[in-house]
Amino acid sequence: MKNAHLWRALGRNTLISVLLFGALLGLLWLTELLFPSLNLLKWQDAAWVVGIPASVIGVAYILTIRDPHNFTGFFAGILMSILLGVQFILEGSYDCTFLYFCIFVPFQMMSIYKWSRNKNDGGASFEPKFLETIRMWMSVAICLSITIGDYLLQTFAIMHDGLWDSWAIKLFNGLMIASSFLANYWLIYRKNDAWIYWFIYSVAGIGLFIILGNAFSIVLFIFFLVINSMAGIAWIKNTKHENLGWVIGK
């Protein structure tokens, strides 16, 4: 069967993710038994419950696209984005809901199209690349613009508070949206820079949930940080010198 090995890899990575999250939830359950006041597992919270399968599928997605030939990971990415969109609806974070439903799902569909076409055209010798210097700085400028724009949106349209009220929460949230937007976009074109933005996303998530005091999400984003870093390193190791782009000032 054509591409059967790619689907098997997605299945294996999904199983690995289920086992990892099972171990994590088991550890947190034992921790709650010892320290009941921590309240790490919030089964009564519908948004939290939806976030569990979204996270499991999300890790399977990242593990699968560590192989730049395996476009099947983006099918998991689409399902993850839909679940996260539902989670953010339940949380009232409508800016994130729009992002996942209207931006990420189309981006991931585009990735399936481009990655599968490359494979079917005989592009088995995929070479990861960094952006050229000018495009890298344009990407940074877009990241900052989205972060600032989301900060203002949260201030005046969502939270209706002062410009400097809860500034760290709004900053980290905006940075997560901006970095995940660019990470999904550059994955379409198989650019190493996507993993830099996933790294930023993970660090911003850790910072946000430290402020919010959400121990489970802190652990979760540390987990994402490790997974994203591993995937990025795997791509960078396969990058030829002539494809280093802005890294060598090209």
pLDDT of 124 higher than 90: no
Report which of residues 106 and 92 the model is more confident about.
106
| Whole-number Å distance between alpha carbons of 8 and 65 | 13
Question: What percent of the chain has pLDDT above 70?
Answer: 96
Most confident listed range (38-42, 118-122, 133-137): 133-137
Contact 25, 41 (CB under 8 A): yes
CA 112 to chain centre: 17
DSSP calls for 113-174: HHHHHHHHTT--S---BPPPHHHHHHHHHHHHHHHHHHHHHIIIIIS---TTTTHHHHHHHH
Handedness of CA 228, 53, 182, 127 (dihedral sign): positive
Instruction: Please state, in angstroms and rounded to a whole number, the distance separating the CA atoms of residues 241 and 238.
Output: 10
Report residue 69's pLDDT band, with 50, 70 and 90 as the boundaries: confident
Token representation of residue 52: 């569990």
Q: Let me know if 47 is exposed, middle or buried by CB neighbors in 10 A (0-12, 13-18, 19+).
A: middle
pLDDT per residue as tens digits for the range 176-229? 999 999 999 999 999 999 999 999 999 999 999 899 887 778 888 898 899 999
Say which amino acid occupies 164.
W
DSSP-derived 3-state class of residue 39: coil
pLDDT tens digits, one per residue of 25-67: 898 889 888 888 877 788 888 988 998 999 999 999 999 998 8
State the average pLDDT for the chain.
88
Does pLDDT of 146 surpass 90?
yes
pLDDT at 8: 93
